[in-house]
Amino acid sequence: MPAKVVDASVLGAIVFREPRAAEAVALLQDSDLYAPELMAYELSHIAQKKSILFPSQFNAFQLALEAAMSMDIRWRDARHPAVLRLALETGLTTYDACYLYLSRLLGAELATFDERLLRAT
């Protein structure tokens, strides 16, 4: 299966059942998934924001986060000096540059709904 680097916009759409969930599933189908360790924090932040907006659904958001963390994803650490350099070259945030860095390192497609990040690939 081809390798794909997945970001929080795509995986979050799936696990939090957002409007683009079906599109996200199609993007990731039949792929070996990779992500920077940063994505775990980004997904936690999404769960936090949703829990603040919809406190009665906290348990569902917590379960969604746990489901994301148990998915078959190969978590990778990023070389931070290289990510910094890439962020400066592309104008991306260092967070987004982590995904781009991993994508380039692996020679893998980047699955994202972030238009700015997609343009940088």
Q: pLDDT tens digits for 66-109?
A: 999 999 999 999 899 999 999 999 999 999 999 999 999 999 99
Q: Helical H runs in 1-121?
A: 8-15, 21-28, 38-53, 58-69, 80-90, 94-106, 115-120
Nearest to 99 by CA among 50, 52, 37: 37
Q: Does the structure show a pLDDT above 90 at 121?
A: no
For residue range 4-17, list pLDDT tens digits in order: 999 999 999 999 99
Q: What is the pTM of this model?
A: 0.92
d(C-alpha 118, C-alpha 113), whole Å? 7
What pLDDT was estimated at residue 2? 94
Question: Could you report the per-residue pLDDT of 24-61, keeping only the tens digit for each?
Answer: 999 999 999 999 999 999 999 999 999 999 999 999 99
**All domains of the chain in start order, with CATH:** 3-120 (3.40.50.1010)
